[in-house]
Amino acid sequence: MVPQLVFWAVMGSIVVSYCGMALWWLSGSPTAAQQHIAQYAVPAVFLFLYSAAPSAVDQLYTFQFYLFFDSAPCKVAFLSLVSSLANFLSFAIYGLVCNRRRIRRVIVATSITSLSLGLLWIPLVGLDFSNDDDGACVQLPLTTSCISVFTYTVAVRFLTSVSGMLAFTPSTVLATESTPVEHKTMSYAIFLSIIDSADSCSGWLTSFIIHRLGMSYGEWSALPNLIWISALSQLAVLGVVPWLRDAKYSVKTTEAANGYVSLDLPPPPIPRGER
């Protein structure tokens, strides 16, 4: 009963959020109330929806545990080390590639990359492990070659760990950029609380979907459906990004004189005499 209530609560918040932002978009010139909504509510709604979307991460981890723990527990430990290394590299990549770039472009680019790489799990889930787990292999597309299950898992685990952390990092950056100077610490804490609360909602929502799909330990036939649902849900949340962009432009330009600095603002025009 509780997962169903959470599911409909999240779905209702999505509908209300889109309708509210659409009314704000169509209402004309920004008023003071609209500026506050743009500065606080729109980033908060995006952070909540982005983190509350259903996720297949836990189920994929359980699936890998199911594949390798009984035959070779050291493989499970090795996969955890791969994820740790990938998470470390993702922060270095973010600093080199995404730092000081427009946060909305970074959100879209990293999210789509993460969703696309997450689909690489589907060929592995579709294999038949009933007879010989060690002899099974993943067929590479457009070739006659095949790669062992563990090698494929290591490669996909590394790629998805890097892209997943790259997709998560912009959320904290957006929370930082959305905080005003006069209430920076409190506002940032509120945004992080929203992200944590949304993670809990994501777990409830995912459990409801898993129950509906009839998934259980050892029965993974519906796992590809969960992967697709997770990917499409994250993609749908990106529909809020255009309002994030316009909201940030409309507010930050008016608050720049009060000390609000944003890396997402376009450079000032060059005076005619200096061109």
- pTM, whole model, 2 decimals? 0.72
**270 in any annotated domain:** no
Q: Is residue 211 part of a domain?
A: yes
> Does the residue 269 lie in any domain?
no
Give me the CATH number covering residue 56: 1.20.1250.20
Containing structural domain, residue 240:
2-263
Dihedral, CA of residue 97, residue 103, residue 106 and residue 111, to nearest 10: 140
How much is the pLDDT for 226? 92
Q: Is residue 268 part of a domain?
A: no
Q: Residue ranges of the chain with pLDDT lower than 50?
A: 1-2, 26, 133, 246-268, 275
Residue 178's SS3 state is coil
In a domain, 225, yes or no: yes
Does the residue 273 lie in any domain? no
Give domain status of residue 248, yes or no: yes
Specify whether the CB–CB gap between 187 and 178 falls below 8 A.
yes
Q: How many domains does the chain have?
A: 1
